[in-house]
Structure 1
Amino acid sequence: MKKTPIKSVVKALLELQNEGKSTTLLGIGPMSHNLLQASFELARDYDFPLMFIASRNQVDMDELGGGYVNSWNQQTFVKAIRNMAKDVNFDGLYYVCRDHGGPWQRDNERNAHLPVKEAMELGKKSYLADIEAGFDLLMIDPTKDPFERGKVVPLKDVIERTVELIEYCEQERKSRNLPEIGYEVGTEETNGGLTSTEVYETFILRLQEELGKKGLPMPTFIVGQTGTLVRRTIQAGKFNFKNAFELAQMAKKYGVGLKEHNGDYLDDVTLLEHIPSNITATNVAPQYGTEETRAYLKLADLEQKLVKHGLIEEASRVKDTLLVHAIKSERWRKWMEGDQVNLSVEEIMKDDTLSLEILDIAGHYTFNNDEVKAEIDKLYENLRKVNIDGQRFVVEYIKRPIRDYVECFNLKGSSTRILSKIQSSQLQGTGVN
C-alpha cells in the first residue's frame, strides 16, 4: 500500500485547524525497543500518527560512528521500526524522521571544528543514507556551527546551506526514483528564547525565494522557538502562547506547519494550550528515556524486597550499573546548568545526591551498554520467578507520559480524521495529496 506522505498529513492538519479540529502531532525520540513498543501500542489503540525523530548522535551510518541508541544505523533503525509495527499489529500512519541532520550535528564533528566544506559533505553523506533507508522527513539544520559558538549563525549562511542541502537531497531522491519526502528547517538552535514573528517571516520569505529559483519544494515544518527549554529533568522554559499562536499563523500563511522542539516535561495546562495555539507538531525525547530509567529503578526496589522476603536469592545490580555508566557517559553535561556542567566524573561519584540526579538525567544513554543489558536481563529473570513480567511493566510505565500528550494534543482518532480530510480534499481538487 502506498504510504501517505507526511507533507499531505500536515496540509490536512492545517485545513482541520480552520474547521476547529486542531491536532498537534507528537515527535518521539526513539530511545529503546521498549519505547517503540509503547508508542506503537498506544497509536494502535488510540488511532494517531507516529513520528520517530532521531538525531545523528542517536542513529547514523556505521562509518560515521553509528548511534548510541541500540547501535542503530539508518537501515537497522528503519528495520526495527517496521518489525515493531508488525509485532504489535499496527497498520496505521507512522513516519521515520531525521532530527537535527546536517553539518556538525555529531558531537565529534563539532568538537573537531571541521571546516565548512568537510562538515557539509559528511552531513550530505548522512542524509543520503537516510534517504536510501526510507526516511520520511529530514530536518535540515545548519545552525550548529563550531565557529559561531555562543552566537546565532547569520541568517544568510543558514539559508544558503539549507537550500544547498535540500537541493542535494532532492537530486539524490529523484535519481533513485524514491517517494516524496518532507523537510523541516529552522532559524536557530532551540535555546529557550522566542523566535520573533518578524525574523520568522523574513526567513520563510527568503527561503521561499531561494527554493523557488531552483524549483525545490517548500518545507513541511519550520521550527519556531515558543519558550520551551529542557534542563536536568524539568521543563525550565516558559511557554509563550501568544508567540506560539502568531508563529503558527505565520507558518500556515505559507502552507507549512510550526514545529516546536524541547516539548518535554510540560504540564497539562501548557499541553492543552497547544491546541488553540495551532502548533502542528512538538518533539519530545529525553523525558521518555528518563521514564524508562525510572521504571527500571522501581523494579530494582522491588527486587530488594523480594530478596528480603526470601523469594529470590540475589538481586541484579541494575541500579548501580546504570548509575556508573550514566555518569561515565558524560552526556548529562548537555542538560546541566552553571558550574555543574564542568564537574569531573570523579567529583560526581563522590556526591551521592548528584550521582542519583545524573542517573535520572542520563540513564537512557546507557541502555545499549553490554553490562547494563546483562543486568536488565537478570532483573527480568528474577521477576519471572515470582510471575511478574518486568518488560511489560516498563512498556506500560513509558506509556503513561506519552498518553498525557496524546490526550492533551487531541491525537485520539486523528489518523482517521486526517485520512478523511485528505480523501475529501482530493475529491474536491484542493491539492492535498
Structure 2
Amino acid sequence: MAKIPIQSAVKALLELQDEGKGGTLLGIGPMSTNVLQASFELARDYDFPLMFIASRNQVDLDELGGGYVNGWNQYTFVQAIREMAELTGFDGLYYVCRDHGGPWQRDKERNDHLPVEEAMALGKKSYLADIEAGFDLLMIDPTKDPFEIGKVIPLEKVIERTVELIEFCEKERQARDLPEIGYEVGTEETNGGLTSTETYETFILRLQEELGRRDLPMPTFIVGQTGTLVRKTEQAGRFSFENAADLAKMAKKYGVGLKEHNGDYLDDVILLAHIPSQITATNVAPQYGTEETRALLKLAKLEEKLKEQGLIGQPSKVKDVLLYHSIKSERWRKWMVGSQRELSVEEIVKDEELSTEILDIAGHYTFNIDEVKEEINKLYRNLSKAHIDGQRFVVDHIKRSIRNYVECFNLKGLTSRIKEKLNGSKNA
C-alpha cells in the first residue's frame, strides 16, 4: 500500500476530531538513535503515526555545518529512520519533518547576521536537500531575522518570505517529479508568532490569497501560540485552553491543523486537555533528550555500586565527560532564564549546583562527541558483566516519557482510525 501523505492523514484527523475519535499527533525531536528506537517500538505496539521533527541545528547538509544529532545530514537521517523502522518491525505510518527550516535557522547564520539574500539562499539549499532526501513535511519559518531582534516582524514580511520559500520548494519538487509534501507555517516565537485569533486569521487569509494567486498548496499545519514555553527542563508557560480551542477552530475553518510547539514537560491535566481543545499536533523535543541523559546518569550510579561490590573493574567516566562537554557546548544558554544566559563557562564550572542543572539541560547535545560515545560504550560493557543491558534500559526510560503523551493524546489505534476514515471517503 502506498504511504498516506501527511496532508491526507491530517485532513482525516480533522474529521475524526469532530466525531470524537481524534487525537493529537506527536512531533518527536530525534535526539538520538535511542529516541528513534523508543518511538518506533511504541508506535508499533500502539498503532499511531510518528512524526520526527528535525531542526537545522540538529540535521543539515555537511557543507552547511551538519547537525549535532549523530552527525546526520538529510540523507543519512532518512536512512537511519528507515533502518530503525525495519529493525523494530514497524510497518505503520511515519513522517520525516523539517522543524524550523529557512533563513537564519542555524545558530551560526543568525549570530553572523547574514544578509537576507544569503540567508534565504542557504535556507533554500537546505530545503532542496530535504526534498531530495524524501522529507514529508517542511516547516517554513523566516522569523529568526537577526535584524529584527526584540521587534515584531511585520506580518507582510513573514508572508512574503513564506510564499517565496514554498514557491521555491514546489518548483524544485515538481522538477524532480517527487510526491507532494506538506508544509507547516507560522512560529511560536513571540517576535513573529501568531498569538491571537485575529492575527492568526489575518495570516491565514493573506497566505491563502498569495498562495492561491500562484497556484501553490495551502499548508498542512499552522503554528499557533497556546501559551507553552520551555525554560531549563521545565514547562514555564501558561497553557490557555481557550486560546488553543479558538486557534484550532480557526485553523479547521480553512482546512488546516493547529500545530503547538514547546509541548515539553506538560502535566497530565494539560496533556488531556489537548483532545477537547482539538490541537492537531504538538512538538516535543528537549524533554526526550533530557530523559536519555537522566537514564545514563542512573546507570552511572549503578556502575559505582557494582564497583563497590567488586563486580566490575574501572568504571566509566560518563558523568564527567557529559558534564564537561555539556558546559563547553554553551547550547544551554537558549534554555536559561535572565542573567544566567550571560554566565561564563568559568562561572558555571565553579557552581556545582548550576553545573548539574546544565548537565540535565544540555547533556543530549554531546551524545555524538567521540569521548562521550566511548564512555557510554564502556558503561554498557561494564553493566553487561553484571547481566544488565544498559542500552535497553535507556530506550525503555525514554519510552516512559513518550508513552505518557501517547496515552493522553488518544494516539492508541489512531493509524487504523485514519486509514478507516480515508477508505470510507473513497468508498462513499
Q: TM-score of the superposition, structure 1-length normalised?
A: 0.98
**What is aligned with 1:296?**
296
Question: How many Å apart are 1:188 and its aligned residue?
Answer: 5.5
Matches within 5 A, 1:348-363: 348-363=348-363
Question: How many Å apart are 1:191 and its aligned residue?
Answer: 7.8
- The amino acid that maps onto 1:229 is L
**What is aligned with 1:406?**
406
State the SS of the aligned residue for 2:185: strand
Gap change, CA 1:349 and 1:192, over 3 Å in 2: farther
Maintained 8 Å contact 2:186/2:194: no
**What is aligned with 2:120?**
120
Matches within 5 A, 1:3-402: 3-186=3-186, 189=189, 195-402=195-402
**Number of aligned pairs?**
428
Question: How many Å apart are 1:297 and its aligned residue?
Answer: 0.2
Distance in 2 (alpha carbons) for counterparts of 1:169 and 1:424: 32
Maintained 8 Å contact 1:193/1:227: no
Maintained 8 Å contact 2:318/2:372: yes
Deviates more, 1:277-286 or 1:15-24: 15-24
**What is aligned with 1:431?**
none
Q: TM-score of the superposition, structure 2-length normalised?
A: 0.99
Distance in 2 (alpha carbons) for counterparts of 1:192 and 1:226: 14
Distance in 2 (alpha carbons) for counterparts of 1:234 and 1:114: 32
Distance in 2 (alpha carbons) for counterparts of 1:405 and 1:352: 33
Distance in 2 (alpha carbons) for counterparts of 1:191 and 1:396: 38
Maintained 8 Å contact 1:55/1:98: yes
State the SS of the aligned residue for 1:399: helix
Indicate the RMSD between aligned Cα atoms, in angstroms.
1.1
Gap change, CA 1:308 and 1:187, over 3 Å in 2: closer
Gap change, CA 1:91 and 1:362, over 3 Å in 2: same
State the SS of the aligned residue for 2:323: helix
Distance in 2 (alpha carbons) for counterparts of 1:151 and 1:343: 25
- The amino acid that maps onto 1:368 is N
Question: How many Å apart are 1:2 and its aligned residue?
Answer: 1.7
Distance in 2 (alpha carbons) for counterparts of 1:416 and 1:187: 30
**What is aligned with 1:2?**
2
Per-residue displacement from partner, 1:167-193 (whole Å, max 9, x unpaired)?
A: 000000001000010000005525898
- The amino acid that maps onto 2:130 is D
Maintained 8 Å contact 1:153/1:188: no
- The amino acid that maps onto 1:318 is V
Question: How many Å apart are 1:3 and its aligned residue?
Answer: 1.2
Deviates more, 1:417-426 or 1:37-46: 417-426
Distance in 2 (alpha carbons) for counterparts of 1:195 and 1:217: 24
Gap change, CA 1:255 and 1:194, over 3 Å in 2: closer
State the SS of the aligned residue for 1:313: coil
Question: How many Å apart are 1:345 and its aligned residue?
Answer: 0.5
Maintained 8 Å contact 2:151/2:191: no
Maintained 8 Å contact 2:31/2:69: yes
Per-residue displacement from partner, 1:217-243 (whole Å, max 9, x unpaired)?
A: 000000000000000000000100000
Maintained 8 Å contact 1:56/1:105: yes
Deviates more, 1:182-191 or 1:151-160: 182-191
Question: How many Å apart are 1:22 and its aligned residue?
Answer: 2.2
- The amino acid that maps onto 2:423 is Q
Identity across the alignment (%): 79
State the SS of the aligned residue for 1:10: helix
Maintained 8 Å contact 1:155/1:187: no
Give structure 2 stretches of 5+ with no counterpart.
none
Runs of 4 or more, structure 1, over 6 Å off, are: 191-194
